[in-house]
Amino acid sequence: MPEIIFSMNGMPTTVSQGTTLLEAARSRGIEVPTLCYDPRLTPSGKCRLCVVEVEGWGRLLPACVTPGEAGIHVWTDSERVHRSRRVILELHWSEYPEEAQAGDVLGRCELTTLTETYRIARAWTPSGLRPRGRDHRHPLIGIDLGKCIGCGRCEQACREIAVCDVLAMVGRGAAAHVATAFDREMKAAGCVACGACVSVCPTGALFDIQSPRVPEAEVRATRTICPYCGVGCAMNVYTHRDRIVWVTGSEDGPANRGSLCVKGRYGFEYATHPDRLTTPLIRREGLSRVLPEGVDPRGLFREATWDEALDLVASRLRTLIARYGSNALGILGSAKCTNEDNYVLQRFARAALGTNNIDHCARLCHSSSVSAMGLAFGHGAMTNAPQEIPEADVIFILGHNTSENHPVIAGAIKRTVRAKAARLIVMDPRRTELSLLADVHLRPGGGTDLAVLNGLAYVILEEELANERFIRERTEGFEAFRSSLVEYTPGRVKELSGVSPEDLRRAARLYATAPSAMMFHGMGMTQHTTGTDKVLAICNLAMLMGHIGRPATGVNPLRGQNNVQGASDVGVLPDVFPGYRTVTDDAVRAELEQRWGRRLPQAPGLTVVEMVNAASHGSLKGMVLMGENPMVSDPDLNHVREALSLLEFMVSQEIFLTETAAMADVVLPASSHFEKDGTTTNTERRVQWQTPVLPPPGQARRDWAILCDLSTRLGYPMVFADTAAVTRTIAHETPIYRGILPERLGPAGIQWPSWTPDHPGTPLLHRTRFTRGLGKFHPVSFRPAAELPDSEYPLLLNTGRVLEQWHTRSMTGRIPGLNLLAPEALLEIHPGDASPLGIETGRRVAVSSRRGTVVARAVVTERTPPGSVFLSFHFAEAAANVLTNAALDPSSRIPEYKVCAVRVTPAD
């Protein structure tokens, strides 16, 4: 941009062309008040507090929407400007109810501050037109109409940041105020409670209902990372006397730029919930591991000292090893814990216990992505960062309900689509929010995505759209792949999947002809017995077009947990050490044996579901669990319960007495996310440092510290001075994390690989060469799901998450506001399937599979396709995983959560 010079308050001012007068003034420290302006939003020029005088231009001009022009003379403090500013503030202040308690949770009110700064009086007669009243109908977000100054920032935030279109300024003139459609309750009006409106409100007219008002002086704000999904939003957590009172998004968070979703903004109360474990617990003698119905699990345990509990654990583990060998133990890490916790856990498993039987819930979400992308590209991680979304020409979402699972990324996608900057393709059997906005919505029947993916490749080749140069120069295995596609004609794909040839061709052309195309995939692709093949097919498509290794162009598995990427990176997997170096590689093993001072097991260990199976067969005797809750999260729960009950010993490090912890012999109280420092790695491989905001309750301790203590008692001392020392150790031992050093982790974090201590990180993978050298095409052929509907179980069950709940609800289940928004499991059923069964919305229904039965409330909706029902898996009382099939993908060992056969009947 060329620069221009003009004079501001008599001073020559140089700015780039297009800079507004407000930006120019503020960048020079000139005070210009505003009420409607927010740097995150399109300037509206509404409040007119920022008016300035430009010589010879007649009327005053709102600085926020007036670009500077060369040679003009601008005055921000002339008498006319002061008069307008004062009168407008007087008018606002006169309308503002005197009895109102001004401001947000901390009592901060931009209007009040301005009236104090400019010594403003209530000088005018109020219009009497402004509506009054407080709306408390939504459990989290309240509206105080009397305090609404009509600035419109909330409406803009709802449209421009959240892209939800729930709020608007309604009414004319002085009566204009924020409202929902027909003044409906916010959720009924479509609000997803992201709180963007609250975060921009200058007066607290929109407010967080559950946050008490606290004096700003007594509040401490700490920047940390959100505990929920893999987006890795930075947040400011406000604490008051060791309680979290409020959370806002951090503007400097690279992944979220101030945005949060309902869980991030409102899901913090679990950390200080009275259910938190505060002391080690030991199971009372002679009690069965299986909890009888209706018994308070706390009664099964007695309190113990740390020494007693840890000694007990150490001696029992030692006994099991002595009796059955190290591989009779299984260790589960947690994608909710930090890299440091998980690093210490896997080293504990391998060096102290001597087994590779270590895994975590990444197995259950993206193990198929990790294995497929490893095979095709060499790295099993997102090739791009979501920050590139605005640059994409085509966004292709595969098997992922972004709006409910990664809401902040969905916001970026929606903003890009609304700006008409990108076309959208969605492949999902369900209607999702994004599918309603898509240019093409491909709705394959459950588990038939692979036919569609191969069909897309077929069309691209048939229409000669493929990027031959890329195929020639950057890939191998193309010919075998090409010949594998012959049978995937559009007609055949329709037979297999139900997707029409027209939609298939439209999607193929859109994707193929886009200058930049970003694919995002989720569990709709991965949680299948063909999960690995599906992700391979995605990689094939990307390589066919050369749609990889460029900005806003690549293959992106959206990771679920806040640290699922990191837990995998640091080796909480049965076949790899930290940094994905395989346990079978002698050189690597030798290097680590030297560093860790122990012989390390050579054979890859068991995966999550295999551990459960081994337990049920009696070959696995003991388990160490760190923050995992397989009793809700694993497939075929009745089988899991049975298997765990056969264990001889089970220890769980937890923050709550979860369904799984209640079965343990010893429960060790650990720290919640808000009590930890250390690093987590988000879905875009960005390693971010987090800061504790609370002390751990009672005797609860850091996970890595507990493990070090236990390890020492087992004769393998692990000692770290502090968390940063663990971080440095990981960096030292892990090539891709070499530059991930605590002192280097500023607000932006670092995206791995960071190969040297001064390497800046790698936002974009596979730029000029793939990690494995050449990209490799893999021919993959369609196989149906392991269990399909039949006459006995005529409906196909799909499972997934809902926006307001998290996983097994051990966190969100303890947050009243979230539970009011999503109180129970809902079975979505298509009207065509519901009416013959006499099922209406609200009716309780029994859902049965070959493995069990649960009862849930029905919602009759076209969201789910005919012949298919959908149930969220969060709720232990209607656990979808009682129903799901534990059939595994042969290469990644991921279970087929997304397809099984069920029968639905009215329950009352």
What is the binding site for another protein (CB under 8 A)?
A: 35-36, 44-49, 51, 59-60, 62, 65, 80, 83-84, 87-88, 91-92, 94-95, 124-129, 150, 163-176, 179-182, 189-190, 414, 418, 431, 433, 436-437, 831, 860-863
**Complex with another protein: residue 88 or 765, whichever CB lies closer:** 88
Give least dist CB 167 to another protein, A: 7
Minimum distance from CB of 18 to another protein (Å)?
13
- Residue placing its CB nearer to another protein in the complex, 310 or 834: 834
We find the least distance from the C-beta atom of residue 168 to another protein, in angstroms, to be: 4
- Give min distance, CB of 119 to another protein, in A: 17
CB of 109 to another protein, least distance (A): 16
Closest CA to 654 of 642, 638, 674, 672: 672
Compute the least distance from the CB of residue 262 to another protein, in Å.
Answer: 15
Nearer to another protein, 774 or 837 (CB): 837
Whose Cβ is closer to another protein: residue 267's or residue 411's?
411
CA nearest to 524, candidates 904, 894, 903, 883: 894
Alpha-helical regions (H) of 67-217 = 79-95, 110-117, 153-156, 196-200
Q: Are 246 and 238 in contact (CB under 8 A)?
A: yes
Rank residues 157 and 176 by Cβ distance to another protein and give the closer one: 176
Cis peptide before 831 (omega within 30 of 0): no
For helices 490-497 and 449-462, give the axis angle rounded to 10 degrees. Answer: 170
Q: Which is nearer to another protein, 44 or 500 (CB)?
A: 44
**Chain mean position to CA 545:** 29
Assess contact for 500 and 374: CB atoms under 8 A: no
User: Judged by CB, which is closer to another protein: 347, or 430?
Assistant: 430
* Distance separating alpha carbons of residues 446 and 732, to the nearest angstrom: 45
Least separation in angstroms between residue 188's CB and another protein is 11
CB closer to another protein, 416 vs 563? 416
Residue 723 beta carbon to another protein: minimum distance, rounded to whole angstroms? 41
Shortest CA distance to 605 belongs to which of 620, 591, 587? 620
Of 47 and 765, CB closest to another protein: 47
CB of 94 to another protein, least distance (A): 7
Distance CA 532, CA 853 (A): 29
The letter for the amino acid at 121 is A
In angstroms, give the least distance from the CB of 70 to another protein. Answer: 16
Q: Would you say 49 or 200 has its CB closer to another protein?
A: 49
Nearest residue (CB) to another protein, 419 versus 725: 419
Which residue number, 95 or 144, has a Cβ lying nearer to another protein? 95
What are the CA-CA distances from residue 174 to residues 90, 142, 150, 558, 652 (Å)?
14, 21, 8, 46, 60
**Residue 566, number of CB atoms within 10 A of its CB:** 35
CA distances to 456, 494, 498, 603 from 502, in Å: 11, 10, 12, 49
Can you point out the beta strands (E) in 17-139?
Answer: 51-54, 61-62, 73-75, 134-135
Nearer Cβ to another protein, position 124 or 479?
124
- Minimum gap (Å) between residue 29 Cβ and another protein: 24
Closest separation in Å from C-beta 442 to another protein: 17
H or E element: which one contains 653?
Answer: strand 649-654
Single out the residue of 58, 125, 65, 67 nearest to residue 95, CA to CA.
Answer: 125
User: Following DSSP, what letter does each residue of 702-723 receive, concatenated?
Assistant: -HHHHHHHHHHHTT-----SSH
Bridge partners (DSSP) listed for residue 330: 623
d(CA 470, CA 512): 13
Assign residue 636 a region (left: φ > 0; alpha: ψ between -120 and 50; beta: otherwise).
left
Q: What angle do CA 481, 482, 487 make, to 5 degrees?
A: 100
DSSP secondary structure of 819-838: HHHS-S-EEEE-HHHHGGGT
Smallest distance from the beta carbon of 900 to another protein, in angstroms? 23
The per-residue DSSP string of 544-569 comes to HHT-SSBTTBEEEEPP-BTTHHHHHH
At CA 793, angle to CA 791 and CA 796, rounded to 5?
Answer: 115
Q: How far is the CB of 428 from another protein (least distance, A)?
A: 12
Q: Could you give phi then psi for residue 103, rounded to 5 degrees?
A: 95, -175
Distance CA 134, CA 207 (A): 10
Q: Toward another protein, which CB reaches closer, 436 or 820?
A: 436
Task: Output the smallest distance, CB 163 to another protein, in A.
Answer: 5
Q: Is the dihedral of CA 495, 499, 500, 501 positive or negative?
A: negative
**In the complex, minimum distance from the CB of residue 517 to another protein, in angstroms, rounded to a whole number:** 21
Least distance in Å: CB of 439 to another protein? Answer: 12
Helix (H) or strand (E) holding 368: helix 367-376
What residues are paired with 689 via a beta bridge? 679
By beta-carbon proximity to another protein, the closer residue of 709 and 833 is 833
Cα 335-336-340 angle, rounded to 5 deg: 80
What distance in Å separates the CA atoms of residue 545 and residue 517, rounded to the nearest whole number?
10
Of the pair 225, 860, the CB lying nearest another protein is at 860
Q: Which is nearer to another protein, 179 or 644 (CB)?
A: 179
Contact 279, 304 (CB under 8 A): yes
218, 227 contact by CB (below 8 A): no
As measured in angstroms, the least distance from the Cβ of 164 to another protein is 6
Nearer to another protein, 57 or 596 (CB): 57
